[in-house]
Structures are given as structure tokens and as C-alpha cells.
Amino acid sequence: MCQVLAVSRSGFYDWLDREPSQREIENKKLKLEIAKIYWQHSGRYGSPRIHRQLVKEGHNCNIKRVVRLMKLMGLRAIQKKKFKKTTDSNHNLPLKENLLNRNFDVSKPNKVWASDITYIPTAEGWLYLAVVIDLYSRKVVGWSINKRWIVNPF
């Protein structure tokens, strides 16, 4: 192996038996601190926040060093998902009258139906479940599930 790498045998064994450098020792300690901060914050802290926290705790290190060590450890911050706006109340369209006024006591079946849409997260993306129930019997009258949000005003 030494011949293939063009290194002397004595040089290779010296390298194997060498003491870790001061930088390697500091990096080892810093890695432990980085991992501690990362997991304390459930993986939500990236290198800038972790660097700030390390400086607060009295560690003297550069942000580039934190970035490099986090890459070596395979740590990446979990990013917040952007809020998806589903309702636009700022429009000039006519509004429908609220016929129920939160009075959900119904005397006969099929007199009042209510509907709702539920978002279901899956590994492949969101599913949208629309359900219509009869408020008298609380039974499902109909439902539909789709991968896309389909706006269909009938």
C-alpha cells in the first residue's frame, strides 16, 4: 500500500502513531457542543444560530468552521414550511348569507347539510378530503378525495 501511495513505511507508521493536533482536539469538543445545541432545538437551528449560541457560551470560533463541522456530521436544519393561504377574504364578490347562524339543532333528516375540507399530509404530498354530512343524523352524505385542490362552484 505504501508503494501505491508513494509513501515511506516509516512515514506511514509515524502518521498512524501521531498525537492529535490541538485543532483536532478543539474540533472534537466543538462537534459535541454543536450536536448538543442542534438536538436541544429539535434540529431547527442552522449554522448561523448555532454559531451565535456558541459565541454566547464563550466558544471562540468562526461561522465557516461551524458550517464545515456541521457538514462533516451531516447536520442540516429543518426548514419551516411556508404557510399556504387557502382563503382570500379580500374580494368584491357577493357573499353568501349565513342561513344557520350556528344553530345546528335540526328537526328532520336531510334538511341541513354541512361540509368541510381536511388536508391530509402524505409522503407524496397533500391529499384534500371534502366531506358532506347530514346535521340531523351526523352521517356522511358524500365525500371526495383528491391530490389537487379543485375549486368547482358547481
Q: Is the pLDDT higher at 17 or at 75?
A: 75
Which residues are CB-neighbours of 110 under 8 A, at least 6 positions away? 134, 136
Cα–Cα distance, 69 to 61 (Å, whole number) = 11
Sheet containing 140-146, strands listed edge to edge, beginning at the edge strand earlier in sequence: 113-122, 125-134, 140-146
Q: 28: Cβ–Cβ under 8 A, 6 or more apart, which residues?
A: 20
CA distance 73 to 126: 31
- Give the tens place of pLDDT for each residue, 14-53: 888 889 899 999 999 999 999 999 999 999 999 999 999 9
Whole-prediction pTM value?
A: 0.52
Q: Which band of pLDDT confidence, cut at 50, 70 and 90, is reported for residue 152?
A: low
Backbone dihedral region for residue 92 (phi beyond 0: left; psi -120 to 50: alpha; all else: beta): alpha
